Amino acid sequence: NGLPLPVYAVVATRGAAHNQVFEVECSIPKLSLTQLGSGASRRAAEQVAATEALASAQLALSSAPSKRRKTRSKDKAEPPPQAKLSFETSHQ
């Protein structure tokens, strides 16, 4: 929808080398949005942060005023007739 890709940054790494936890920040500058995610790998942490950022972005975009204007139509068109389905069963 015209937004640039999010920017990821590792903000913290904790734990022993074999048992690390990564904290990653996912930001969408155009929406002034930043979310944190953590996981056992950098990729997992990025995915958590991206999921949170996507949810926040969708919420922000859905609550923003729409740029489209609704126009009134003088003629109210009737909706197309519903297709009727019929099933025939044969008894043998």
Quote the pLDDT of residue 6: 93
Q: Give the integer Cα–Cα distance in Å for 69 and 48.
A: 36
Q: Which residues contact 12 (CB under 8 A, 6 or more apart)?
A: 22, 23
Quote the pLDDT of residue 57: 87
**How confident is the model over 28-47, as pLDDT tens digits?**
998 899 999 999 999 999 99
Q: Give CA separation, 77 vs 12, 61, 70, 82, in Å.
A: 59, 31, 16, 15
What CATH number is attached to the domain comprising 16? Answer: 3.30.160.20
The reply to whether 38 falls in a domain is: yes
Quote the pLDDT of residue 61: 79
Domains held by the chain: number: 1
**How confident is the model over 60-75, as pLDDT tens digits?**
878 877 665 555 555 5
Quote the pLDDT of residue 86: 43
The reply to whether 43 falls in a domain is: yes
Quote the pLDDT of residue 87: 44
Of the pLDDT bands very low, low, confident and very high (cuts 50, 70, 90), residue 79 is low
The reply to whether 79 falls in a domain is: no
Q: Give CA separation, 74 vs 71, 77, 78, in Å.
A: 10, 9, 12
Both tokens assigned to 50: 């991206």
The alpha carbon dihedral of 71, 77, 78, 81 has a sign of negative
